[in-house]
């Protein structure tokens, strides 16, 4: 360890017994002393860092402190006379090999009797193992709490685990977030999870769907208006941005807002200022903006319907929600959760899905995603009174559309005509049912079709399992 000449040799030995890394930084930002634990932690030898700027270590917490010191006499916020002169935080240091290591940093400024800074001393505690354990605990908590989900979002599939990780990282930032996903995938839940996980969770969370609102009404909702600003404006009204000050605002269907309103939204993102409709007094707000869309914004940009500069401003942290057909393994957990909620709401003693009904759920394409699944279960709760939900309790679209992709409605079927093919199909079905003793799943395997197809053909020809067995 290299130390300034006035440091006592005995003190040097004491410092080198520390398990935590130690670095002393001069008022100009250059490194003047490190201990052996620092060398082990960072991979740098003392000779490699002595006299070099402390920014060599690329500490993410220091980046913010230095940015806040730009244009001031002091180059770092830690040296600000108004600062308490102490800082404790979790941050990441870049090691010599380019990797980052999480540390707990304690920093303090040393001053003389006149208050002039002599330098800063920092101790660094390696918390990489603690970070690993935190991740394991988080993962286990998600698995154990599957019925409640991650802030109400149900899913333990790999695609959803990736979404949860991005949500947690986005929550630690104030940067704009945009959520991409098909209708019914749960974009509103994701926005709420970001808010609940972030530093603004105790501040307002304001939501607005931008769809189906004309420009005047949308701007009044977003920015508020003054009395007399337009016909029907009988009083002053604050907008959603003003109501969300200090917290988060969630703008759903961002691709539907008019171009003129996009300009005003861009100004808020860039300056944090806006004006109420009918007023020219600027209002400053501190709001983190979360947006969502089920449309392709790049196609809208190419068509001249969405501003490219606004797209770049809102697309800082993108989150892509997978459709339900891409995470089918989450369906049983979703079904159990929704059934539990519907039982509490209706008081009906529904015990779950039959095996046949679950097979139908697992083979359906779910073009409406999680919202459609919830609607199907609500329908089943209306039809069924108690016991398990079976095929006869499901809407016809589910039985007729298993495994098919969403598309235009099929043409009306012609009047049924029994021809040779129908007779062959019915005869093959009867033989399979007789061979399987009336077991529809076994009959499906014999015919090489799925269980729902057997059910549909039995319904088509009026075949009952009991009659087939008795025959």
**Confidence at residue 84, expressed as pLDDT on a 0 to 100 scale:** 61
Q: The tokens of 244 are what? A: 């969300």
pLDDT mean over 167-184: 94
pTM for this one? 0.57
pLDDT mean over 292-319: 95
Contact assessment for residue 35 and residue 3, using Cβ atoms and an 8 Å cutoff: no
**Confidence at residue 431, expressed as pLDDT on a 0 to 100 scale:** 78
Share of residues in the chain with pLDDT > 90 (%): 43
Number of Cβ within 10 Å of residue 298's Cβ equals 12
Q: Spell out where 317-404 has E strands.
A: 317-320, 349-353, 386-389
Q: Which residues are CB-neighbours of 359 under 8 A, at least 6 positions away?
A: 441, 450, 451, 452
Q: What span, in angstroms and rounded, lies between the C-alpha atoms of 172 and 150? A: 16
**Residue 63 C-alpha from the chain's centroid:** 26
Q: What span, in angstroms and rounded, lies between the C-alpha atoms of 340 and 350? A: 9
pLDDT mean over 166-170: 94
What is the largest distance, in Å, between two alpha-carbon atoms of the chain? 106
Q: What span, in angstroms and rounded, lies between the C-alpha atoms of 51 and 2? A: 11
**Confidence at residue 439, expressed as pLDDT on a 0 to 100 scale:** 81
pLDDT mean over 403-432: 50
- Say what the alpha-carbon torsion angle 443, 444, 445, 451 is, to the nearest 10 degrees: -130
**Confidence at residue 470, expressed as pLDDT on a 0 to 100 scale:** 56
**Confidence at residue 66, expressed as pLDDT on a 0 to 100 scale:** 63
249-251-254 Cα angle (round to 5): 150
pLDDT digits (tens, 9 = 90+) for 365-394: 999 999 999 999 999 999 998 889 999 999
100-106-110 Cα angle (round to 5): 125
- Report whether pLDDT(163) > 60: yes
DSSP symbol at 339? H
The winner for highest mean pLDDT among 48-52, 231-235, 398-402, 455-459 is 48-52
Per the rule left: phi > 0, alpha: psi between -120 and 50, beta: everything else, 30 is beta
- Lowest average pLDDT, out of 61-75, 332-346, 434-448, goes to 61-75
103, containing H or E segment: strand 100-111
Q: What span, in angstroms and rounded, lies between the C-alpha atoms of 332 and 340? A: 12
pLDDT digits (tens, 9 = 90+) for 277-298: 888 888 889 999 999 999 999 9
Q: H helices of 284-330, where? A: 297-302, 308-314
Closest CA to 276 of 246, 248, 241, 307: 241
pLDDT mean over 303-319: 95
Quick check: helix, strand or coil at residue 293? strand
Contact assessment for residue 290 and residue 252, using Cβ atoms and an 8 Å cutoff: no
pLDDT mean over 117-146: 70
Contact assessment for residue 380 and residue 416, using Cβ atoms and an 8 Å cutoff: no
Q: What span, in angstroms and rounded, lies between the C-alpha atoms of 74 and 413? A: 80
Question: Strands 177-180 and 117-126: what pairing?
Answer: unpaired
**Confidence at residue 144, expressed as pLDDT on a 0 to 100 scale:** 45
Q: What span, in angstroms and rounded, lies between the C-alpha atoms of 273 and 284? A: 4
Q: Is 284 exposed, middle or buried (0-12, 13-18, 19+ CB in 10 A)?
A: exposed
DSSP symbol at 414? P
> Model confidence at 55, in pLDDT bands (50, 70, 90)?
confident
Whole-number mean pLDDT of the chain? 81
- Lowest average pLDDT, out of 321-330, 332-341, 409-418, goes to 409-418
**Cross-strand pairs, 249:** 206, 289
pLDDT mean over 345-356: 89
- Report whether pLDDT(255) > 90: yes
**Confidence at residue 440, expressed as pLDDT on a 0 to 100 scale:** 80
> Model confidence at 68, in pLDDT bands (50, 70, 90)?
low
425, containing H or E segment: helix 420-435
**Confidence at residue 420, expressed as pLDDT on a 0 to 100 scale:** 38
Contact assessment for residue 276 and residue 226, using Cβ atoms and an 8 Å cutoff: yes
Q: How many residues does the chain have?
A: 471
Q: The tokens of 142 are what? A: 């998600």
Q: What span, in angstroms and rounded, lies between the C-alpha atoms of 278 and 327? A: 48
pLDDT digits (tens, 9 = 90+) for 97-120: 877 788 888 888 888 887 788 888
- Lowest average pLDDT, out of 132-136, 405-409, 457-461, goes to 405-409
Q: What span, in angstroms and rounded, lies between the C-alpha atoms of 447 and 122? A: 74
């Amino acid at each position: 360890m290299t130390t300034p000449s006035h440091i006592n040799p005995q003190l040097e030995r004491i410092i080198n017994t520390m398990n935590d890394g130690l670095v002393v930084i001069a008022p100009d930002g250059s490194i003047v002393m490190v201990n052996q634990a620092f060398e082990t932690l960072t991979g740098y030898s003392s000779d490699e860092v002595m006299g070099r700027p402390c920014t060599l270590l690329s500490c993410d917490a220091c980046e913010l402190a230095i940015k806040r010191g730009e244009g001031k006499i002091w180059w770092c916020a830690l040296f600000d006379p108004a600062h308490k002169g102490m800082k404790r935080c979790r941050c990441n240091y870049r090691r010599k090999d380019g990797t980052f290591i999480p540390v707990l940093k304690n920093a303090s400024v040393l001053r003389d009797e006149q208050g002039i800074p002599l330098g800063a001393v920092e101790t660094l505690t390696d918390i990489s193992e603690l970070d690993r354990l935190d991740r394991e605990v988080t993962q286990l908590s998600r698995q154990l709490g599957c019925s409640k989900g991650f802030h109400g979002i149900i899913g333990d599939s790999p695609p959803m685990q990736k979404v949860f990780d991005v949500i947690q990282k986005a929550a630690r930032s104030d940067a704009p977030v945009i959520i991409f996903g098909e209708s019914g995938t749960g974009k509103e839940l994701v926005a709420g999870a970001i808010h609940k996980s972030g530093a603004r969770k105790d501040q307002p969370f304001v939501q607005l769907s931008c769809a189906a609102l004309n420009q005047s009404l949308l701007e009044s909702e977003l920015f508020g208006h003054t009395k007399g600003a337009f016909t029907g404006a009988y009083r002053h009204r604050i907008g959603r941005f003003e109501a969300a000050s200090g917290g988060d605002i969630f703008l759903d269907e961002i691709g539907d807002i008019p171009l003129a309103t996009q300009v005003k939204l861009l100004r808020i993102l860039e300056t944090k200022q806006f004006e109420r409709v009918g007023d020219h007094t600027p209002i400053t707000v501190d709001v983190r903006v979360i947006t969502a869309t089920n449309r392709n914004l790049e196609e809208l940009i190419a068509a001249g319907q969405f501003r490219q500069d606004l797209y770049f401003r809102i697309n800082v942290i993108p989150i892509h929600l997978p459709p339900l057909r891409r995470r089918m393994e989450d369906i049983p957990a979703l079904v159990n959760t929704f059934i539990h909620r519907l039982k509490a709401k209706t008081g009906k003693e529904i015990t779950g899905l039959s095996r046949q009904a679950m097979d139908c759920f697992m083979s359906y394409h779910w073009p409406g995603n999680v919202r459609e699944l919830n609607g199907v279960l609500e329908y089943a709760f209306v039809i069924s009174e108690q016991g398990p939900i079976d095929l006869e309790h499901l809407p016809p679209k589910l039985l007729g559309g298993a495994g098919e992709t969403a598309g235009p409605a099929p043409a009306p079927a012609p009047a049924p005509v029994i021809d040779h093919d129908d007779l062959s199909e019915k005869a093959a079905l009867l033989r399979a049912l007789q061979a399987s003793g009336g077991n529809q799943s076994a009959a499906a395997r014999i015919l090489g079709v799925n269980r729902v197809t057997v059910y549909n053909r039995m319904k088509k020809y009026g075949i009952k399992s009991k009659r087939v067995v008795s025959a």
